[in-house]
Structure 1
């Protein structure tokens, strides 16, 4: 789990941009897709497979941090991900 700290109260959000993202693809079940390897980002849900994205996650008014969670099992190894983070002053 990674914690993105709010360095000052004027920062209102975090923009994430994938430079590379390649995890195991989702497994399709009768109830929808499920990820065995994933990145979970605030307000974004579970990201898996091979995707390119730009996502903005806003801080709650009194929050001092946001949490991002990465999970991987031991079954398959793909190349992983590289994501840029930018703190935003204008949301």
Structure 2
């Protein structure tokens, strides 16, 4: 798995090709960067409650959610929403158009 919350400059080459520094600058201030990816990318069927609690305390949550939606992140908790919740949000946005 690609470490999406690693310090700038340490992201994998594949990820660097698709995301600019400005796109990920918010990650340095995010609470998840201080807690580790295990909470945010749990094993299938595991609880995401702790990740959502951390997201709820994070001032960067809106930028994180915007990033996840814009880049179609399909795994993990981003911006306080699980994969399924982000999928529902995208579907609702499509039907609202």
Q: The TM-score by the shorter chain falls in which range?
A: under 0.3
Which of structures 1 and 2 has the larger relative contact order (alpha carbons within 8 angstroms, sep 6+)?
1
* TM-score after normalising by structure 2: 0.24
Higher helix share: 2
* TM-score after normalising by structure 1: 0.24
Higher strand share: 1
